[in-house]
């Protein structure tokens, strides 16, 4: 009998050892966009890449469309360890790292090449590192896109924005810029925007083409004015609490997968931006190109009027345009 118990105990220990050896590391990754957004597609690519690189030991669970909370709540979840990974806009990030505000300045970037040179270089790395004291690991910058206005009436100049109730992200740089343009900016969580537009709580909003399309804004807005007033990145962030639980090998696998997914995400974003602009036309929206010079002139002093803008970083960003 004693021999049987010993054999059984040994078998149980071996089974447990096998389970431990095969145990998966699960990464809960959340974002605030629809499944048709390039960031969701890139998370799917990241999931597949890191699964392959780890031999199936790392499993990524993706939670789109604010399933893990609004963007600020997801970033707070990274700090608490209740969210492992998040892809978010810069909207809530100034509360965690004021330095990030510099890339939200209007008409800062000349083109996408200027953006990538900045965000993939020392400036972008410095901004990602600025999250470390807050318990967050910054991994990469993905693309949300160039932001444009959507309205119920045509916008030709800053005068047309006077008094317009315009939804912005909860971002002091964006709010200051639209106040300077004469609008009445209303910071609002994204989950409230569609209803707010439909009920007249707000008159207008601003976002990249893909966000406008995937959220069916043609149902509550008529005009898209191609202002490209701000380039909006998506920050790829990781919980420091979760990061320290990964082995050095797993950390390297995650970083490598994110790097590959970044190139894929930007390619998809550029492709879909053009395609979906045409789809918005097909849905009946009026797409207008205007002279943005008056908008640039009206907001040229924002960098000196908003608190917390790092002038040294700003100078480096401007230099990168050369």
CB atoms within 10 A of CB 293: 10
Q: Is residue 11 part of a domain?
A: no
Residue 59, domain extent: 17-319
Share of residues in the chain with pLDDT > 90 (%):
91
Q: Is residue 84 part of a domain?
A: yes
DSSP for 70-118, please give it: SHHHHHHHHHHTS-SEEEEESTTGGGT-GGGGGGGSTT--SSHHHHHHH
Distance from C-alpha of 209 to C-alpha of 221, rounded to nearest angstrom: 13
pLDDT in tens, 86-106: 999 998 999 999 999 999 999
Number of domains within the chain: 1
pLDDT in tens, 216-237: 999 999 999 999 999 999 999 9
pTM, two decimals, is: 0.91
Q: Is residue 2 part of a domain?
A: no
Q: Is residue 6 part of a domain?
A: no
Q: Is residue 7 part of a domain?
A: no
For residue 106, what is the domain's CATH number? 3.40.190.170
pLDDT given at position 308: 87
Residue whose structure tokens are 């901004």: 127
Helix (H, G, I), strand (E, B) or coil at 187: strand
Residue whose structure tokens are 């050095």: 248
Q: Is residue 10 part of a domain?
A: no
Residue 84 dihedral angles phi and psi, to the nearest 5°: -90, -40
Q: Is residue 8 part of a domain?
A: no
Q: Is residue 140 part of a domain?
A: yes
Query: Does residue 19 have a pLDDT over 70?
Result: no
């Amino acid at each position: 009998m004693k021999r049987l118990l010993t054999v059984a105990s040994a078998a149980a220990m071996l089974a447990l050892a096998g389970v431990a050896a095969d145990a998966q590391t699960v990464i809960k990754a959340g974002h605030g966009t629809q499944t048709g957004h390039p960031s969701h597609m890139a998370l799917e690519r990241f999931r597949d890449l890191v699964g392959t690189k780890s031999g199936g030991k790392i499993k990524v669970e993706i939670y789109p469309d604010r399933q893990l909370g609004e963007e600020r709540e997801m970033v707070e979840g990274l700090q608490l360890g209740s969210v492992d990974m998040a892809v978010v806009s810069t909207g809530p990030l100034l509360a965690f790292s004021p330095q990030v505000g510099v890339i939200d300045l209007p008409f800062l970037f000349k083109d996408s090449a200027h953006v990538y040179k900045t965000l993939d270089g020392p400036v972008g790395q410095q901004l990602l590192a600025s999250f470390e004291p807050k318990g967050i690991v910054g991994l990469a910058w993905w693309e949300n896109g160039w932001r444009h206005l959507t309205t119920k009436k045509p916008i030709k100049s800053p005068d047309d924005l006077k008094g317009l109730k315009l939804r912005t992200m909860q971002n002091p740089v964006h709010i200051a810029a639209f106040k300077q343009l004469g609008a009445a900016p209303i910071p609002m969580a994204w989950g409230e925007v569609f209803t707010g537009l439909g009920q007249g709580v707000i008159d207008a909003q601003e976002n990249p083409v893909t966000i406008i399309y995937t959220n069916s804004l043609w149902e509550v807005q008529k005009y898209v004015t191609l202002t490209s007033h701000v380039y909006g990145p998506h920050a790829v962030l990781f919980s420091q609490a979760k990061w320290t639980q990964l082995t050095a090998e797993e950390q390297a696998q995650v970083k490598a997968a994110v790097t590959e997914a970044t190139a894929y995400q930007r390619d998809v974003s550029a492709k879909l931006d053009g395609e979906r602009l045409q789809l918005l036309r097909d849905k009946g929206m009026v797409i207008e190109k205007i002279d943005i010079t008056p908008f640039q002139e009206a907001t040229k002093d924002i960098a000196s009027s908003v608190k917390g803008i790092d002038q040294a970083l700003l100078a480096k960003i401007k230099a990168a345009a050369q």
